[in-house]
Structure 1
Amino acid sequence: MEEKRINLQYIVLQGLYMTLYCVSCGFISFYLQGNGFANSGIGIITAVFCLFAVIFQPIVGNICDRIDRLTWKKLIIILGLPYIVICIAMLIIKEKWIIAILFGMMYIITNIYLPLINTALFSYKREGIEINFGVARGMGSAMYALMALFIGNIAVRVGTRIIPMAGLIIIALFLGVVFSMPVADKIKSDRNETKRTNIVGFIKKYPYFSIMLLAVLFIYFSHNIIGTYLLQIVQSLGGNSGNLGIAMFIQALAEIPVLFTFSYIMKKVKIGNLMILAGIGYVVRGILYFISGSIMIIYTIQLSQIFSFAIVTAASVYFTGMVVDVEDQTTGLAFMSGMTAAGTVLGSLLGGEILDHIGMRSMLAVNILITIIGLGIAVCSIKLIRSKKKNKYV
């Protein structure tokens, strides 16, 4: 009964987190544009927000690993308080640059939450409670898709105020679920005898994991160069924002079957092979975007999420759990999730420059090159881990 209850709570937690992510991160262009920022400014501001998220994720994760009393649950609740204050301030303040800073802080907190939620997965596992991460993450994709449609429709009538209003409601529900969940004490065995690993020490301690981080960076670079400028891709084929919404909805729904069955997939395919498969999926996805010639083909390409993002988003979490030691897992998960934000920085800046100066076809061609580099690095990482016999499960 305890395991079933915690699984249900974790599924709800992932669902609420993804709706929070949709509000705080998915509508960043909409919110900034609605508050008077031009497209060029939005690209720069987005990159700056993402860069701070990249920096803070491993720092906060490392702090959590190094302080015994600071559990994932406590840190989520602590960060929830400024999130609430930020949402209230966004409803009151009218100065656009202050609003941009507040939104940036909301964005950063939301990104910091991801490794903490993933840490909970392994925390329960050490207590003998098996969490079905695939089902939980699949529920997150479903909730993200529904929230995207909801916010998109309501925003037409309410405007940008829907963002902080939705943020307040969701964070209250999110914190309520976190508060109700039990949390185990951190593993104490050998922690006082083992030298605590700082961020630089972590990279030296896990060189092959760090190589995979670089691969994931290139994968998310590709993911975000397409995601950030998907509207422009659709427009280049004669579409509009309505077509964009449908494409995003299909993309999110496509992830669900893989995520719901991921526990079964892992029994059949090694996690290292899944990481390589995701890289191959992104290469194929990049080629399909390059040769696409109509909106209907774009809709079809969104189904490639099944073999790309759906795999890497789950496999990267389990890969970290297998390669990184227990006492460093929050740091490892923070580094891994930080690659998403880092990919957004690179995708926003490079994609915008290529679009403005060279054109759409060039951007899509560069995207193919990025995916091939990411796949090559992933293959090297897995080969090194296996040749050194670092982990028999990878």
Structure 2
Amino acid sequence: MSDRKKFWTLRYIIINATYFAVYSGIHAYASVFLLEKGFSNTLIGITLALANILSVIFQPIVAGLIDKQGKLTNRNVSMASTALLLIGSVLLLLIKNGTVVIFLIFALIYMVQMVYQPIITAMYFEYEAAGCHIYYGLARGLGSCGFAIVSFFTGRAIGWFGVNILMILDIVFLSIALVVLFFFKKPVVDIPAQTKTEVAHNNLISFIKTYPGFMLFVLGAVCFFFAHNAINDYMIQIITPLGGNETNMGIAVSCAAFLELPAMALINKIMKKISVKNLLLISGIAFFIKHLLMLIAPNMVVVYISQAMQMFAYAIFIPAGAYFVNQTMARLDQVKGQAYINCSITLGGVFSSLICGRLLDVKGPHFMLIVSVIVTLAGLVIAVVALKGLSKHSTRNA
């Protein structure tokens, strides 16, 4: 890797690592924080569901504004989002009680962080096109490692210092991110003039008509992440009948997160041998195997094996999905494409939250996993149909 590439990659690594470190505090420990603030489980569910639904609405809207190639850029939106998260974290640290205020602030920062996640990905392709060569897979993989490391130590830190340590850590990481983003300026280059044939499809119906195969794949991905989120959200309920506990859960979650790095870091080399579409199919198959193993697991060993499939499922899907958008979308639609990929993850989580909790209460974890496996299989069938019928968009401007 050249020194120049190392320079851009290092800063992009910091942007990813700080993002996912904060993601740990806001998302992974959301229930822990809100319970301590007096929220009931029902209110926590409402808070997170509302934030997720709002993020699904706003992700394509914000992406559409960026795609217009005006003053609103990926970097500017990332900086503004980081600043909002920083302000929100400070307020949550200072506010000792007040359920309504905490509800509003937490839902807002949860939503904002989801909205600008695909923008970080889109920023890579924007900078790469401008000659700022970045090792995307390595940066994204180290972001996952940042999440795993921070999540592991945060649990202990909460025991020592209380839940406010979550906001303190977020403030530190967000401050670092804001400084790095401020100096992460793309070189001035001649941007290809928009041709008469280039049209930004900001309307959802227009976007679906233009990219029907892509949107069908997004539907399949929603199914993948329905089950993926169900397992992540209800891991403790799944492993308790198998003799597992919180320690085993921590091992399982950390194992999955750390194993994302090799696949993500090597994605560029992998793509030289396997097409992006085939990689997405492989990830879909891996999701199905992962969820099936979780269903039939008789003990924690098989649970760990299931979690290890993260290397071929989520770890392949995320970078392959990003490159998939870049290869199939016209230039003025690429940020929206990244947003819709991220929306599939979010929507899967929304449906999982609304359905799987009830299934768990009524039928138990085994039945919930049966439903999850069936939904994953349906998603795999949809993805196969979508990807087989998909051809590269003819107007794409590389």
CA deviation vs aligned residue, 1:357-376 (integer Å, no higher than 9, x gap): 11111101001101101111
Q: Partner of 2:59 in structure 1? A: 57
Moved more, 303-312 or 231-240: 231-240
The structural deviation recorded for 1:330 is 0.8
- After superposition, residues 299-318 of structure 1 pair within 5 angstroms as 299-318=304-323
Q: Partner of 2:149 in structure 1? A: 146
Distance 1:340 1:389, change over 3 A: closer
Establish whether residue 170 from structure 1 lines up as the match of residue 178 from structure 2.
no
Q: Partner of 2:84 in structure 1? A: 82
Q: Partner of 1:70 in structure 2? A: 72
- Letter of the aligned partner of 2:63 in structure 1? G
- After superposition, residues 354-369 of structure 1 pair within 5 angstroms as 354-369=359-374
Distance 2:191 2:201 in 1: 15
Counterpart contact for 2:132–2:186, Cα < 8 Å: no
Secondary structure (helix, strand or coil) at the match of 1:268 reads coil
Distance 1:208 1:237 in 2: 41
Establish whether residue 121 from structure 1 lines up as the match of residue 111 from structure 2.
no
Distance 1:69 1:389 in 2: 26
Moved more, 202-211 or 256-265: 202-211
Secondary structure (helix, strand or coil) at the match of 1:69 reads coil
- After superposition, residues 266-281 of structure 1 pair within 5 angstroms as 266-281=271-286
Q: Partner of 2:159 in structure 1? A: 156
Counterpart contact for 1:187–1:327, Cα < 8 Å: no
Distance 1:376 1:79, change over 3 A: same
The structural deviation recorded for 1:51 is 0.8
- Letter of the aligned partner of 2:126 in structure 1? S
Distance 1:208 1:126 in 2: 25
Counterpart contact for 1:322–1:391, Cα < 8 Å: no
Distance 1:193 1:383 in 2: 26
The structural deviation recorded for 1:146 is 0.5
Distance 1:87 1:159 in 2: 15
Gapped runs of 5+ residues in structure 1? none
Instruction: Choose from 195, 210, 227 the match for 2:232.
Output: 227
Distance 1:283 1:390 in 2: 32
Counterpart contact for 2:256–2:310, Cα < 8 Å: yes
Distance 1:184 1:223 in 2: 39
Counterpart contact for 1:191–1:327, Cα < 8 Å: no
Q: Partner of 1:189 in structure 2? A: 193
The structural deviation recorded for 1:383 is 1.0
Instruction: Choose from 233, 241, 250 the match for 2:246.
Output: 241
Distance 1:122 1:45 in 2: 33
- Letter of the aligned partner of 2:58 in structure 1? F
Q: Partner of 2:378 in structure 1? A: 373
Distance 1:102 1:163 in 2: 15
CA deviation vs aligned residue, 1:161-194 (integer Å, no higher than 9, x gap): 1221111111100111111112256845126774
- Letter of the aligned partner of 1:80 in structure 2? T
Secondary structure (helix, strand or coil) at the match of 1:131 reads coil
The structural deviation recorded for 1:25 is 1.2
The structural deviation recorded for 1:318 is 0.7
Instruction: Choose from 111, 115, 135 the match for 2:114.
Output: 111
Secondary structure (helix, strand or coil) at the match of 1:198 reads coil
Instruction: Choose from 328, 342, 345 the match for 1:337.
Output: 342
Q: Partner of 2:388 in structure 1? A: 383
Distance 1:187 1:112, change over 3 A: farther
Alignment length, in residue pairs? 391
Counterpart contact for 2:18–2:143, Cα < 8 Å: yes
Q: TM-score, normalised by structure 1?
A: 0.94
Counterpart contact for 1:234–1:295, Cα < 8 Å: yes
Counterpart contact for 1:278–1:311, Cα < 8 Å: yes
Distance 1:19 1:175 in 2: 14
Counterpart contact for 2:297–2:303, Cα < 8 Å: yes
Distance 1:112 1:184 in 2: 25
Q: TM-score, normalised by structure 2?
A: 0.93
Counterpart contact for 2:130–2:186, Cα < 8 Å: no
Distance 2:297 2:44 in 1: 27
Distance 2:207 2:300 in 1: 45
Moved more, 148-157 or 77-86: 77-86
Establish whether residue 179 from structure 1 lines up as the match of residue 182 from structure 2.
yes
Distance 2:281 2:82 in 1: 36
The structural deviation recorded for 1:350 is 0.9
The structural deviation recorded for 1:391 is 10
CA deviation vs aligned residue, 1:229-273 (integer Å, no higher than 9, x gap): 111112222322222111111111111111111111111101000
Q: Partner of 1:352 in structure 2? A: 357
Counterpart contact for 1:123–1:184, Cα < 8 Å: no
Distance 1:202 1:230, change over 3 A: same
Q: Partner of 1:217 in structure 2? A: 222
Secondary structure (helix, strand or coil) at the match of 2:272 reads helix
CA deviation vs aligned residue, 1:212-242 (integer Å, no higher than 9, x gap): 1111111111110111111111222232222
Moved more, 261-270 or 26-35: 26-35
Gapped runs of 5+ residues in structure 2? none
